């Protein structure tokens, strides 16, 4: 697709070394008309499905496609409001699909979506896929993990540096398609972007084996975003690639 000036974007997904099926999904989308682009900005979404051989794949696909569809066709005038509604609709569609296809009961997915509108960042998030912002040598995680271990970290029972090696780190406490209702997190506080900022969306197949310091090194400005994606996936594969690995790198550039 033709990407409008102001951003560089690359994405890469890999099966990993221990899985038979890739249950991750992702997309990057911009409106084609300048008028819509001025209102809606740019959308990126990543999802990590769960629920059996095909259930997770279907759940993640439904999530990213629904978020894009709702954001495109039912925009409410405000990116954050529209993202929240898109997540709620995706949650319902995944549950409806599972009810109509009994073999898919238990399917669900993480989902992290961002909108860049001008220099303002909007985020909606459920699960344990992550969004980072890298600014110079500094990295900030803009999402919190909806997981059992994430709760332990927030309560002070487990140290954050120990969480990513915890044997129960993959147990989610929230996912699209799971439970009666879902409420997506937003970025708090709201985030303003600067030229040179790099946004990294990734599933736990990446962040579970690649450190934040390594992410910073991989997305340095002298590297293209394509090179950054390849380096991050390579690092995850070198560590055994225990899960599907998906990453999107978005670098803010002068418009």
Q: What is the mean predicted confidence (pLDDT) over 120-148?
A: 93
pLDDT in tens, 172-182: 888 999 888 88
Which phi and psi angles does 53 have, rounded to 5°? Answer: -60, -45
Res 98 pLDDT > 70? yes
54 CB-contact burial (10 Å; exposed 0-12 / middle 13-18 / buried 19+): middle
Q: Name residue 13's beta-bridge partners.
A: 246
Class of domain 7-252: alpha beta
Q: Is the CB of residue 210 less than 8 Å from the CB of residue 243?
A: no
Cβ neighbours of 115 (radius 10 Å): 21
Is the overall model pTM greater than 0.95, yes or no? no
Q: How far apart are CA 44 and CA 52, in angstroms?
A: 26
pLDDT at 148: 59
| Higher pLDDT among residues 187 and 98, named by residue | 98
Q: Is the CB of residue 111 less than 8 Å from the CB of residue 104?
A: no
pLDDT in tens, 5-30: 999 999 999 999 999 899 999 999 99
Cα–Cα nearest to 193, from 254, 143, 144: 254
pLDDT band at 66 (very low <50, low <70, confident <90, very high): very high
């Amino acid at each position: 697709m033709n990407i409008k000036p102001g951003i560089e974007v690359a994405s890469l997904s890999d099966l990993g070394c221990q899985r038979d099926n890739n249950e991750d999904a992702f997309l990057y989308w911009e409106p084609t008309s300048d008028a819509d682009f001025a209102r809606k900005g740019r959308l990126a979404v990543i999802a990590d499905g769960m629920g059996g051989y095909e259930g997770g794949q279907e759940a993640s696909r439904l999530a990213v496609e629904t978020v894009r569809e709702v954001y495109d066709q039912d925009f409410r005038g405000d990116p954050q409001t529209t993202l929240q509604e898109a997540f709620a609709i995706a949650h319902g569609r995944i549950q409806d699909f599972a009810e109509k296809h009994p073999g898919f009961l238990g399917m669900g997915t993480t989902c992290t979506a961002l909108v860049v509108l001008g220099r303002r960042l909007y985020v909606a998030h459920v699960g344990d896929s992550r969004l980072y912002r890298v600014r110079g040598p500094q990295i900030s995680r803009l999402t919190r993990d909806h997981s059992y271990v994430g709760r332990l970290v927030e309560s002070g029972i487990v140290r954050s540096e120990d969480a990513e090696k915890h044997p129960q780190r993959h147990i989610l406490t929230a996912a699209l398609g799971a439970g009666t209702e879902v409420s997506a997190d937003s970025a708090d506080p709201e985030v303003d972007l600067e030229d040179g900022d790099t946004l990294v969306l990734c599933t736990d197949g990446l962040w579970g084996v690649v450190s934040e310091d390594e992410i910073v090194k991989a997305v340095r400005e002298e590297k293209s975003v394509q090179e950054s994606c390849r380096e991050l996936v390579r690092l995850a594969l070198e560590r055994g690639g225990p899960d599907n690995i998906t990453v999107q790198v978005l670098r803010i550039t002068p418009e």
